[in-house]
Structure 1
């Protein structure tokens, strides 16, 4: 009888848990209205990096987004499994978007195998998001060294203390290791860059600008490189600058 009661309790609990579903659809916030649409005439630039800078400057001026440079980076493993995580975009230019990381991390290993990546900036306070597709390349070691030297001592010690993505026994061990290295580097007055740390640049092939609308007819304007022989018609496909074309996508 005792075993039967335990079995029935187990089955009942699992049935209950399997039916649990938390709906969050009612948590939608009001976004921009139709009078605030992002139209082609509103483009600050006819190439994506200039337009990115225009939106980025607006986000920084609004001061509502704590980390405007936070970028969700998506990579794909050798077996085809995607993974995504946030990194900090440290700079951008017409060449692409730069960030720094541990070369022994999962994302670095996946980029070594498959350099095709995607990245997303999401600025909820401004109802805007930017999607980037392209390929990642390692930055020259000299540039990575310069970037490493510009970081505070505690950050440099943390890079040395941590082997990214490797399982660890406890957080306290990391803290102890960081403190030991900090004292060591203070005495030596110089912190060399680890060989396993450096930067990447994402060279974009497509950049999409998305702006939310409360009526769900959100705005999407995508810049991309034209396909071979593709000619802009001025209706569906528009000629941009620096070899880019742009088009409006359905939400």
Structure 2
């Protein structure tokens, strides 16, 4: 259960001359062309506060927006991750493409995006996904799959005569504005390439970046 990495040109600091976002976008596009399923999938790690103290919580979500200021995803604000981000508005995101021997990790503060941005993305979603967002009380217990299916049927009937479904009040986008972005590339003998970019959260100014190579 061990693979040998290497083959592609070595990840170099010069690849970040235009900033972190163009390189991340390029890697996502390469993953897409390589036929990788869900190339925009990313692991989102948040902090869950409990009586025993802070605990890590992670799950896979989809990147639905990428710009020089950060990475955007959408969810139910009342979900577990929504509650965790309300309590500790800081997170870590990791994109991983093992087939390409690459991953990227971003860490930084998280904020809700403006309602206008959420509305634009909402209108791009399939109607079935919109109905699902209305039907599901995300992260809350439910007795059975049959009960969940009934909730979906009831919601479908509720909106049968509504042409454009409104955005639920408790649903919308978050943007992580990175303080650090680390690019990882697998290399032979486990001497992997790691290059970390440090920047002010959400600051798109390339001149404000600090780029440094890390030991594997």
Q: TM-score, normalised by structure 2?
A: 0.90
Ranked by relative contact order (alpha carbons within 8 Å, sequence separation 6 or more), the top structure is: 2
Counterpart of 2:118 in structure 1 is 144
Question: Is 2:171 aligned against 1:191?
Answer: no
Counterpart of 2:137 in structure 1 is 163
How many residues align structurally?
209
Secondary structure of 2:99's match? helix
Alignment of 1:197-212 (within 5 A): 197-212=171-186
Question: Is 2:85 aligned against 1:120?
Answer: no
Segment drifting more, 74-83 vs 207-216: 74-83
Q: Deviations over 1:44-65 (max 9, x none)?
A: 53411122122222212222x1
Alignment of 1:97-116 (within 5 A): 97-116=71-90
Which of 9, 14, 24 is matched with 1:36 structurally?
Answer: 9
- Stretches of structure 1 that go unaligned for 5 or more consecutive residues are 1-26, 227-239
RMSD between superposed Cα atoms in Å: 1.7
Secondary structure of 2:215's match? coil
Conserved? CA contact 2:28–2:39, under 8 Å = yes
Q: TM-score, normalised by structure 1?
A: 0.78
Could you tell me how far 1:133 is from its partner in structure 2? 0.6
Secondary structure of 1:158's match? helix
CA distance in 1, matches of 2:84, 2:16: 35
Could you tell me how far 1:156 is from its partner in structure 2? 0.9
Counterpart of 1:45 in structure 2 is 17
Counterpart of 1:24 in structure 2 is none
Secondary structure of 2:117's match? helix
Q: State the structure with more CA Rg.
A: 1
Which of 39, 42, 59 is matched with 1:71 structurally?
Answer: 42
Secondary structure of 2:175's match? strand
Structure 1 residues 242 and 92, CA gap change in structure 2 (3 angstroms): farther
- Stretches of structure 2 that go unaligned for 5 or more consecutive residues are none
Question: Is 2:29 aligned against 1:57?
Answer: yes
Could you tell me how far 1:146 is from its partner in structure 2? 2.4
CA distance in 1, matches of 2:126, 2:192: 41
Counterpart of 1:249 in structure 2 is 214
CA distance in 2, matches of 1:173, 1:247: 52
